[in-house]
Each structure stands twice: as C-alpha cells, then as structure tokens.
Amino acid sequence: MTSILTKLTLFAVPILLLFLTAIAGYAYSQIRSLSLPIPSALALFTLFLPLITGITTRGAYGLVSRHRLNNEPYQLTIPLIGVIGFQLIYETVVATLALTHLVPPGSLLCGLDQQWLHLWRVKDGDAIRLIQDTLNCCGLNSVLDRSFPFTDPATCSKYFHRTQACMGAWRQAEQINAGLLLLVAVVVFIIKVLSIISLLTGTSLSESKWARHFKQIGNGTENSEEDNRAGVRRLIEERSGTVGEYHDEPSEEAVPRAIDAPADGQEQGPRVVPSPLTEGGREWRD
C-alpha cells in the first residue's frame, strides 16, 4: 500500500500538468481555427503555464531534498520567492483575461462583430468559410449578413442549405475555449498553493495527514495481526517469569504443593502415606 501511494504521489502531479497542457493546446487550436477574438498570446501563455509550474516546483523540491539529506534547515531564498511571486501574478493575469471572454455574454457580441467585420473587409474567405463549415451556419447575425461566398446577394444559405446564423454558436465557442483557459489557470494555481504549503511545512504530499490516513487504513489488518502477536509474546513472557526454576532437590515451598492433592481422586503428584500399625499396635507396649 505504501509503495502504491508513493507512486501515485510521484506521478499524479506531472500527469495532471500534462493533462492541463493538452487542454490548453486544444483551446489554442480552436481559437486559431475559428478565428475567435481571444488573443493568441493569452492562449500561448496558458499553454506554457503548466510546464513552467512543473519545472519550478520540481526544482524547489530538489533543493529541499538536498538540504534534508544534509540535515540542514531550508529557508526560502529571495530568488525562489521572486519566482513563486511572478508565477502567481502570471496565473492571476491569465485567469482574469480568460474571464473577460467568458462573462458576461452580452459584452462578447461587440468583440465578435468586430472580428467578423475585420475578416470580411480583408476578404479572408478561408477563415469565414472554416467558421461556417465548422459551426454549420451562414453569415453572422443572419444567413445574409456578410456570409461566404462573397456575392451580392448572398448565396451561402442557398448553396449549403443552412438556416442558422453564426453569432450564437460562435459566441458559445468563445465561451467554451475561454472557460478551458480559465480552468487551466485555476487548477495550476491550486497546485502551486499546495506546493508552497508543502514546501513551507517541510512535508511532501506522501507525508501529509491524508496520505498517512490512507496508509493506516491499508495497513489496518497487518497492524492488528502484529498487535495480536505482540500481545501473545508479552503473555508468554509474563507467565514464564512466574514459574519457578528447576532444582535437583525440592525446596521448602515445593513440600506443601506436593502434599496438597486435588480432591478429584486423580494422582497428579507425590503423597505422604503413613505406615500401617502392625499387630494391633502392640509395638507401642513395653
């Protein structure tokens, strides 16, 4: 059980950070492909956030481990405090910017309209067509509103047989991907806080109270068996201490024990039998 918990502790956090990196990568690809009005720099910063956190956390624990091996107390240095503070600010900024593209929904309409208008003015047909094909829609506010192909009148709805505008689905895509970026930043922040607490208290995750609690549950049967064996050993030692040592000659304390026989008629030890009186007791006469 202990080895299993140790392996989980060693691999859980790195696997979680890799999973968060994959989420940020997916959000980045969706932002690029759907031309969402979310800055690509924000998505990139979120993408590298779990990797930076994993490297710095691993380095901090390595420093602490070296000091523990040398039996030296470890204190937070100014460079380490600066790195931790910078990352906390970094995570806060990412979470705040991601939140602005998530709520409130009404404020997102202006950014989406400006983004679509920019694509329309530069005649970026590939970007608009990719949005329409992915979301199965035509135009922005209606199927005739600046749709692709760039014809007058608009022919997107006629050619592709679509009756839905892109504004609703496009706004939902912005909210979903901004929510993924916010999720990554929040989870990384929680991991960072737990790592700082563990670093300041001088205990690793495997030595924490909850880990010891699960270890005790897993080793409960084994500990109870060991306690039973220890109790039997103590009982044997106590009884062996009260038994008298063996002597070649019986001691004075052994005589009454030999005389006292059980009343059940079974011979369990030597008895004193008086000699019979002969000739009717005439030996006592002169």
Task: Give the pLDDT confidence score for residue 54 in this predicted structure.
Answer: 83
Evaluate if residue 153 carries a pLDDT over 70: yes
Domain residue ranges of the chain, discontinuous segments joined by +: 2-217
pTM over 0.75: no
What would the pLDDT profile of 189-229 be if each residue is shown by its tens digit?
Answer: 998 888 777 766 654 444 444 444 444 544 554 455 555 66
Q: Report the candidate in 104, 113, 13, 5 with the shortest Cα–Cα distance to residue 61.
A: 13
- CA 276/CA 193 separation, integer angstroms: 98
Q: Report the candidate in 130, 126, 128, 156 with the shortest Cα–Cα distance to residue 142.
A: 156
Evaluate if residue 123 carries a pLDDT over 70: yes
Task: Give the pLDDT confidence score for residue 68 in this predicted structure.
Answer: 58
- CA 246/CA 257 separation, integer angstroms: 15
Evaluate if residue 7 carries a pLDDT over 90: no
**What is the chain's alpha carbon radius of gyration, rounded to the nearest angstrom?**
42
Residue 150 vs residue 65, higher pLDDT:
150
Q: Report the candidate in 144, 141, 147 with the shortest Cα–Cα distance to residue 127.
A: 147
Task: Give the pLDDT confidence score for residue 197 in this predicted structure.
Answer: 77
Band of residue 100 on the pLDDT scale cut at 50, 70, 90: very high
Residue 248 vs residue 142, higher pLDDT:
142
Task: Give the pLDDT confidence score for residue 151 in this predicted structure.
Answer: 86
State CA 169 to chain mean position distance.
35
Q: Report the candidate in 31, 24, 143 with the shortest Cα–Cα distance to residue 95.
A: 24
Residue 26 vs residue 220, higher pLDDT:
26
